[in-house]
Amino acid sequence: MSRPIIRRPRAIADLIEHYSYIAHDKVEPAERFLQQVEKTFDLIARFPGIGRAWESKQPRLAGVRVYPIPRFRNYLIFYRPIKAGVEILTVLHGARDLGAVLDELPDEQ
């Protein structure tokens, strides 16, 4: 049974940015990217432990997990299983300084 998916504003902004970047060359791959993202969100909602734990010294990042988007494996979904479902925090390209970006995430709870 799938759990509710809470998309944080940062995650939505990330997806818009990634879509725009990919669509700059061609729209079709950008559309496939968004379709794959939604499928992956659904997979995470069904199996919230599927990703690996993200190690951080920041207490506010406790419980965060990371999972790559199939077919777009350079893009990583950072999420947290919560009582009400799963919380999608951000979607980042793996070439970024992931620790620095996550440390700067706003505390949205």
Q: Residue 109 falls within a domain, yes or no? A: no
Instruction: Enter the pTM of the model.
Output: 0.91
The whole domain housing 97 covers 5-103
Bridge partners (DSSP) of residue 93 are 75
99-108 per-residue burial string, b: 16 or more CB within 10 A, e: under 16: eeebeebeee
The residue ranking higher by pLDDT, 72 or 101, is 72
Q: Residue 98 falls within a domain, yes or no? A: yes
Q: Residue 65 falls within a domain, yes or no? A: yes
CATH code for the domain of 87: 3.30.2310.20
Kindly write down the DSSP assignment for every residue of 19-59, as one continuous string: HHHHHTT-HHHHHHHHHHHHHHHHHHHH-TT-SEEPP-S-G
Q: What is the number of domains present in the chain?
A: 1
Tens of pLDDT, residues 33-91 = 999 999 999 999 999 999 999 888 888 888 899 999 999 989 999 999 998 899 999 99
Q: Are strands 72-82 and 65-69 parallel, antiparallel or unpaired?
A: antiparallel
Q: Residue 53 falls within a domain, yes or no? A: yes
pLDDT of the residue at 1: 59
Tens of pLDDT, residues 32-49 = 999 999 999 999 999 999
